[in-house]
Structure 1
Amino acid sequence: MEQALLIVWRESVEALLVIGILYAWLRHQPEHTRAMRHLWAGVGLGLLLAGLLGTLMVLAGGWINGPAGEWFQTALSLLAAGLILQMLHWMAHNAWQLRRQLEQRAASALQGRRLGSLTLLVTLAVAREGSETAIFLYGIGGTANPVPLALGAGLGLLLGLLCVALLQAGGRLIGWRQFFLASEVWLVLLGGALLMSAVDRASGQWMAWELPEHLYRLLGEPVWDSSALLDDGSRPGALLAGLSGYRAMPSAVHLGLLGLYWLLAWFLIRPARPPRLSPLP
């Protein structure tokens, strides 16, 4: 549930930002009523496309059983971890100029009276965030109980709405820079958790193969055992494992891949940023 909450919270904030920026800009334009209809049409189409993708993934997961199903789940977890890296890279280079880019594209659509372009802009933005959310949720959910997953997703959406309202109000408790920096840390940890979930599933399949002895040791032999301090089977340990990829008895493969993931995430975020984020409405 906690993973679903954080993922939907972060993704909903990004989608709501796009909608909020365009809405705030359009309502100050002359004859904005028609443009607003295209804005909400784009939101609806984007949600429809994201829902379609989620439905197709659920159906595909139901059709694929046995080892093929495990590999399908592994692939989606790896895809979700990769999408988090792509998202971090994009936000590191574009978050500060998001408002300007959206307003320029909207202005171009209005000036050329191509309101269909405005609909397409919003559709793609919402579908992108919604599709990523669907992949993330399926990557962490798999065959798990859907009730906690749905509860976490609902709470994440409510939290996203509250967060955007507070950020738009310009409160002193949290600013845009602080929000993006904190969410980057959470996303890196969640990406590592998704990667470790994929490694666990893949290792379970590889162990059934006839592999050289040293590969079995790399996949299954723990480098250390911290179960006495925090067992990842306990409630606190499972929570930490779900949010960061913690393993009480990690193998060399776990440690190596998690370290490489964090290093790659740091490299993608590290490029120079502008000193200040552009103010948002």
Structure 2
Amino acid sequence: MLAPFLIMLREGLEAALIVGIIAGYLRQTGRAQWLPAIWVGVFLAVALALFAGAGLQLASAQFPQKTQELIEALIGFVAVGVLIAMVFWMKRAARSIKRELHASVDQALSHSGATWGLIGMVFLAVAREGLESVFFLLAVFQQSKDASAPIGAALGVLAAVGMGWGIYAGALRLDLGRFFRITGIFIIFVAAGLFAGSVKALHEAGLWNSLLTPVWDLSRVLPESSPLGTVLSGILGYREAPSLGELIAWAGFLVVTLYLFLRPAVPAPQTQSMVRK
């Protein structure tokens, strides 16, 4: 429950942050008449995400067991890619996102067909977050045995909507850089668990038959079905009896991604131009 909650809190906050910044900018610049276009874009994006999620779930249920395992693995790998891309994008964009969105709004409203331009901008921004959510929620639900995972995801969305409203109303101030850095580290651990789980799904689909020796068996000490095991499984990708391949996939992914995420940013070299008089 905790992993879906925190992931959806972050993902939902990204979408709410974008919508809140755009809506607040329109209100501050005396263009509140354009606000309905924002909600149209949001509604269309949410509808697209819901239809995509339902379609993927229904389609995968029609296939044989091994094909379902293959689809689970593919969805897991896509979810991992989406999560990591999201983490690194927000690390770069957190400081400049407000300025860039203001410029995009001005550009969208400066052309004919401004309503559709604003709807399209909001739709694309929110739809991206929604489709990302679809992939990693499907992956989490398929690999998690926690029946409360959907409740955690719903609570995360509700919390993100509340925080987005606070940002729009000016009542909530966040250090976005620190927030996305802390949640980024957490999501990297979640992504590592999804990556290892996808490797396991490849084996169950009959496509991965190497490094299958169990490294340990803690099923009697800390089973995945126990409360603590469920939490650790959802957060850290804990497995009670992981194979050597799963452990290598988990540890290797975690070490490489955490290093790339936590290393200090290298400042761009400054070039000096000579001005001839």
Distance, in Å, in 1 between the alignment partners of 2:216 and 2:232 is 17
**Map of 1:1-281 to 2, 5 A cutoff?**
1-33=1-33, 35-113=34-112, 114-142=114-142, 148-164=148-164, 169-170=171-172, 175-206=175-206, 215=210, 218-219=211-212, 221-226=213-218, 230-269=222-261, 270=263, 272=265
Return closer, same or farther for 1:273/1:186 CA change in 2, 3 Å cut-off: farther
Contact 1:88 1:268 (C-alpha < 8 Å) held by counterparts: no
Q: Give the AA of the match of 2:48.
A: L
Q: How many residues align?
A: 263
Q: Which stretch shifts more, 111-120 or 263-272?
A: 263-272
Return closer, same or farther for 1:12/1:273 CA change in 2, 3 Å cut-off: farther
Distance, in Å, in 2 between the alignment partners of 1:247 and 1:146 is 14
User: 1:184-219 CA distances to partner (integer Å, 9 max, x unpaired)?
Assistant: 111111111211221222223339x8x5xxx3xx12
Distance, in Å, in 1 between the alignment partners of 2:218 and 2:164 is 39
Q: CA deviation at 1:44?
A: 1.1
Contact 1:85 1:268 (C-alpha < 8 Å) held by counterparts: no
Distance, in Å, in 1 between the alignment partners of 2:150 and 2:52 is 17
Contact 1:88 1:265 (C-alpha < 8 Å) held by counterparts: no
Contact 2:144 2:233 (C-alpha < 8 Å) held by counterparts: no
Distance, in Å, in 2 between the alignment partners of 1:239 and 1:146 is 8
Q: Secondary structure at the match of 1:96?
A: coil
Q: CA deviation at 1:83?
A: 0.8
Q: Give the AA of the match of 1:39.
A: I
Sequence identity percentage = 30
Contact 2:69 2:204 (C-alpha < 8 Å) held by counterparts: no
User: 1:100-123 CA distances to partner (integer Å, 9 max, x unpaired)?
Assistant: 111100011122243322111100
Q: CA deviation at 1:268?
A: 4.1
Contact 1:92 1:273 (C-alpha < 8 Å) held by counterparts: no
Return closer, same or farther for 1:59/1:228 CA change in 2, 3 Å cut-off: closer
Distance, in Å, in 1 between the alignment partners of 2:248 and 2:44 is 41
- 5+ residue gaps in structure 1? 275-281
For 1:278, the equivalent position in structure 2 comes to: none
Distance, in Å, in 1 between the alignment partners of 2:166 and 2:32 is 26
CA RMSD of aligned residues (A): 2.6
Q: CA deviation at 1:271?
A: 5.3
Q: Which stretch shifts more, 193-202 or 141-150?
A: 141-150
Q: Give the AA of the match of 2:83.
A: I
Contact 2:222 2:229 (C-alpha < 8 Å) held by counterparts: yes
- 5+ residue gaps in structure 2? 268-277
Q: CA deviation at 1:80?
A: 0.6
Q: Give the AA of the match of 1:109.
A: A
TM-score by length of 2: 0.84
Return closer, same or farther for 1:258/1:32 CA change in 2, 3 Å cut-off: same
Return closer, same or farther for 1:234/1:70 CA change in 2, 3 Å cut-off: same
